[in-house]
Amino acid sequence: MSAVRGNYIKARFYKAARIVPGVDNVVSALDEDKHKAMRAQMNSTFIVKVDDEYGFEAAMDRQIQNFITMLETKYTSTDSEIRPVDMAEKAQFLALDIIGDISIGKPFGYLKQDQDLYNFNEINMSSLPILTFVSILPGIADVIHAWPFRLALPKEEDQVGFGRLMKFVTKSVEAAMHRHEAKEGALIQKHVHHGLTKNDMIQQGFVAMYVHCCASSSSRANVHASIAGSNTTAHTTLMTLLSIIAAPWAFQALRKEIDEARPSVHDPISWHEIRQLPYLQAVIKEGLRMWPPVSGLGFKLVPPGGEHINGHFVPGGTEIGQAFLAVGRSKQIWGADADIFRPERWLCASEADLNKMNKAVDTHFGGGKFSCLGKPIAMMELHKTVYELMKRFDMAIIHPAKPMKTKASIFVCDTDFWVTLRKRPA
Residue type at 277 in one-letter notation: L
Tell me how far apart the alpha carbons of residues 166 and 130 are, in angstroms, rounded to a whole number: 19
- Bond prior to 148 in cis (omega within 30° of 0): yes
Non-local CB neighbours of 54 within 8 Å, separated by 6+ positions: 48, 271, 376, 377, 380
Non-local CB neighbours of 368 within 8 Å, separated by 6+ positions: 2, 3, 4, 6
Q: Determine if residue 214 is labeled as part of a ligand binding site.
A: no
Other C-beta atoms lying within 10 Å of the C-beta of residue 212: 31
Residues annotated within a binding site for heme: 372
Residues annotated within a binding site: 372
